[in-house]
Amino acid sequence: MSSAATARPARPVYPFVAIVGQEEMRRTLILTAIDPAIGGVMIMGHRGTGKSTAVRALAEVMPPLIAVEGCPFHCAPGTTVGLCEYCTNEGSARTVEMQVPVVDLPLGATEDRVAGTLDIEQALAHGRRRFEPGVLARANRGFLYIDEVNLLEDHLIDLLLDVAASGVNTVEREGISVRHPAHFSLIGSGNPEEGELRPQLLDRFGLGATIETEREPALRVEIIRRRLAFDADPSGFVAHWAADTATLRNRIGAAQRYLPEVVVPEPALSTIAALTSTLALDGHRGDLTLARAARAHAAFEHRPTVTIEDLRSVAPLALRHRLRTDPFTLDTPSDTVETTFDRIVPG
C-alpha cells in the first residue's frame, strides 16, 4: 500500500558527518542510535536549522540490519517467534541485509494508518480479514520521525509513546486482532513558538536537544556553502564525505557491540541519584535514561566503565526537559542541570 508515511526517496541524502555545528543534536542522535532503550529524542529549536536533515541522515551512519526475508516487520532472525506471525508461521530461513529504516510520520495520519488496519482489498476481493501493516511496522528496528511534533494530535502521540515503550503494537479494530513487534526510537522535532508539548509527553522522550541558529558568522557561511555544494551535486558531495560516513558508521557499530560490557560503577550511580534528587525530579525515568545515555556515551568512547565525564556530557541532555520550569522564564534549564552537577561533583 502506498502508505501514509512518505516513502524514502532513492536520491542522495545530505551526509550526517557534513552537518556543521549543532553538536548537541548530533550527540543525542548518536547516543540513541547506539542504545535505542534510551527512549527517543526530542529536538526543540529554531526552524530551518537542519533538524530533519540530521534525522534523515541517520540511516547512512547506522550499521545495516540483518532481517528475515519477506517479513513485513523485518524481524531479526530467530528473535520474534511467537510475536511476529510471519516469523512464527512462514518464517523463511533466508535473511536479507537492509538499511535501518527512518520513517516519517505525516501530521495528518490517522490512527489506522499509523497502527495498521484491515487490508481493505483483501477484505473486498476475497472476504479475508488480513492485517495491513502501518507506519509502526515499517519503523520496527529503526527510527520514527515526527516533524513539528507539537502539532500532532495528542491521542496519536500517546499511542506512539506507548508502543515505543513496550516495543509491541497491538491492533484491535475492524474485526482484526494483531500484535507485532514495533521497536523504534521516536524522534520528535518542533519549535516551541508553535505551542509547547504537554509536560507529561516531554518527560517520555529519553533525551532532549535544543538547537539554535548558529551565531558564528564563519560557521553560518560554511553551512550555506556546504548546502549549496550538496544541492549542486548531491552524489559528488556524498562521495566526498563517504570515508567519514563509513568511519562514523563503524564507530557506532563498535559501540553497539561494546555496550553490554560497559558498567556503571557505584560512584556514578550515586552521582546520578544525587543529581536527580537535588533537581527534585519526579519518578525514575530521568535516572534510568541518564544511566543509559552515559553508558552509550562511554561505549562510543570505547571506555569499559562510565566516568564522571560521561555523566557530565549527557546529564543536560537526559534531564533538562524534565525539569519543572515556569514556561514564562526564558532561562534555559540546561544551566540548572550543569550548575547542579558542578555543585555535586566539584571540578
Closest approach of another protein to the CB of residue 309, in Å: 30
Q: What is the contact mask toward another protein in residues 52 to 71, using x (rule: CB under 8 A)?
A: --------------------
Q: What is the contact mask toward another protein in residues 144 to 163, using x (rule: CB under 8 A)?
A: ---xx--x--xx--------
Among the listed residues 64, 63, 83, the one whose alpha carbon sits nearest the alpha carbon of residue 73: 83
H or E segment to which residue 169 belongs: strand 168-173
Closest approach of another protein to the CB of residue 94, in Å: 26
H or E segment to which residue 145 belongs: strand 142-146
Any contact of residue 107 with another protein (CB under 8 A)? Answer: yes
Closest approach of another protein to the CB of residue 135, in Å: 12
Any contact of residue 231 with another protein (CB under 8 A)? Answer: yes
Sign of CA dihedral 6, 10, 11, 12: positive
Question: Which residue in the list 113, 249, 285, 322 is annotated as catalytic?
Answer: 285
The C-alpha cell at 224 is 550555506
H or E segment to which residue 131 belongs: strand 131-132
Cα–Cα distance for residue pair 217/196, rounded to 1 Å: 30
Nearer to another protein by C-beta: 8 or 251? Answer: 8
Q: What is the contact mask toward another protein in residues 253 to 272, using x (rule: CB under 8 A)?
A: --------------------
Q: What is the DSSP letter of 263?
A: B
Q: Tell which positions 178-217 bind another protein, by CB under 8 A.
A: 191-196, 198, 213-214, 217
Any contact of residue 220 with another protein (CB under 8 A)? Answer: yes
Any contact of residue 82 with another protein (CB under 8 A)? Answer: no
User: Nearest-5° angle of CA 330, CA 209, CA 323?
Assistant: 55
Any contact of residue 280 with another protein (CB under 8 A)? Answer: no
Say whether 205 sits in a helix, a strand or coil: coil
Number of residues that bind another protein (CB under 8 A): 61
Cα–Cα distance for residue pair 129/123, rounded to 1 Å: 6
Among the listed residues 209, 216, 159, 205, the one whose alpha carbon sits nearest the alpha carbon of residue 39: 205
In contact, 123 and 112? CB cutoff 8 Å: no
Backbone Cα Rg of the chain? 21
The yes-or-no answer on residue 215 being catalytic is: no
Any contact of residue 49 with another protein (CB under 8 A)? Answer: yes
Any contact of residue 282 with another protein (CB under 8 A)? Answer: no
- Residues designated catalytic: 285
The residues binding another protein (CB under 8 A) are 1-2, 4, 6, 9, 11, 46-50, 104, 106-111, 113, 117-118, 120-121, 123-127, 147-148, 151, 154-155, 173-175, 191-196, 198, 213-214, 217, 220-221, 223-225, 227-228, 231-232, 326-331
